[in-house]
Structure 1
Amino acid sequence: MSAVEKAAPAATTPAIGQAYGGGFVTGITRDPATGKRSLHITAGAAHELVGAWGKYGEKIEGADSFTNSRANTEAMAAAGSELAQKVLALDIDGFTDWAIPARDVQELQYRHFKPTTDDNWQYGRSGDNPHSEPVGLLYSEQDPAQTAHIGFRDGEPEAFQQRAYWSSSQRSANTAFTMYFDDGSQGGSAKVYELRVRPVRSVLIEA
């Protein structure tokens, strides 16, 4: 089922953490190029994958968006990324439009589903998310706090592991953006490293 085929009416937008569309509602971003709003849905922990982002030293055209997870992932797959190809092949509850989350979509995963009570990383631009609604601000020591959503806390079945996860947003020919789910630090890693991915799908929201 394509997210483009049907848009979710704003009046019925489900709540963060609600089971919906094959996963769990994660948040909303607005695309900087089109102005369109998207609702993002995170797959359950059983659907996590592990692999390399791609080839070191290869710049992939079309994998640079901070909000369009699907476009990034399709560009990765076309360039030969086995990890991206596996994500695109997922069928979860009849939904087949899964992707590796773009950087600002991934930030929402940590903001709303932070697994631990540990202090957050407070350096660089971790937490800065100009495309989310509401706009994300730099993390403080205790904000975001451990998630309030049952199932996503450390030790529970849907919890993110305290490891680095790939985003689909390319940083350079050598690196792509990552997020560490132990403290929320956002940075970059060499594309050849084998890291985790928690897939997402995105649904357009009517204005």
Structure 2
Amino acid sequence: MTQSVLQSIAAADLPERGQTLAGGVFVTRYWLNGQERALILLPDELSGKWGEYGVEIKGASSYSDGESNTRAMAEAGSEIAIKALELGAFIPSCLEGQLLMAAKDDDLLTLREDRFHWLSSQFSANFAYYMDFGGGWVHGRYGKSSERLVRPVRSLPIQ
């Protein structure tokens, strides 16, 4: 698995939102599990199934922690999750997807509006959440075995 050169970043070294950072575009600062983090959108675009319809993946239901969701997906054999982790990245959670949408709305990012994007947050054994960057909404009722896009992200602890 390829790792990001940066493992963390000092708050004083953060660029403006929408500027280059760690191989992608700095989206925003956010808090996750008691740690302030920098969310970075990578330029890569992946496509694939979230997982198998009817199979619940334990550990992939976090609304906020896309990295832990993606690791659980990969352990269960999800090809898009494995590809994201190989990039030193992960599939955004519902929260992280909404942060991407907010940055897009502020004209800091360009995201495809013609296709739905998977999020790593599982809704149930049958469904996973996805994001419509054209309409700006998150929905949880789409079969996991459908092909959707993924825009991987990276998250760095802020020191």
As a proportion of its length, which structure holds more strand? Answer: 2
The residue identity in structure 1 corresponding to 2:157 is L
Aligned to 2:119: 167
Counterpart Cα distance in 1 of 2:94 and 2:15: 22
Letter in 2 for 1:173: A
| Structure 2 counterpart of 1:8 | 9
Describe how 1:139-158 pairs up with structure 2 within 5 A.
Answer: 147-149=106-108, 152=110
* Counterpart contact for 2:4–2:22, Cα < 8 Å: no
Counterpart AA for 2:103: H
Matched, 1:52 2:43: no
Q: Is the 8 A contact 2:113 2:132 kept in 1?
A: no
Structure 1, unmatched stretches of 5+, are: 91-96, 115-146, 153-158
**Any gaps of 5 or more consecutive residues in structure 2?**
none
Measured in 1, the distance between the counterparts of 2:20 and 2:56 equals: 36
For residue 89 of structure 1, report the CA deviation from its aligned partner.
1.8
- Is 2:148 the partner of 1:191? no
Calculate the TM-score normalised by the size of structure 2: 0.89
Provide the C-alpha distance between the structure 2 equivalents of 1:148 and 1:6, rounded to a whole number of angstroms. Answer: 27
Map residues 16-165 of structure 1 onto 2, 5 A cutoff.
16-31=17-32, 34-44=33-43, 47-90=44-87, 97-114=88-105, 147-149=106-108, 152=110, 159-165=111-117
Q: Percentage identity across aligned positions?
A: 38
Correspondence for 2:158? 205
Alignment check: 8 A CA contact 1:29 1:67 kept: no
Distance in 2 (CA, whole Å) between partners of 1:43 and 1:160 is 13
* C-alpha distance in 2 between matches for 1:174 and 1:148: 34
Q: What is the CA-CA distance between 1:68 and the residue it aligns to? A: 2.0
Q: Distance in 2 between matches of 1:68 and 1:14?
A: 23
Question: More helix per residue: 1 or 2?
Answer: 2
| RMSD, matched Cα | 1.8
Cα distance in structure 2, aligned partners of 1:14 and 1:101: 21
| Aligned residue-pair number | 156
Q: Is the contact between residue 30 and residue 67 of structure 1 (CA under 8 Å) also seen in structure 2? A: no
Alpha-carbon offset, residue 6 of structure 1: 3.2
Offset of residue 161 of structure 1 = 3.2
Q: Deviations over 1:166-206 (max 9, x none)?
A: 00011111111111011111112111111100000110112
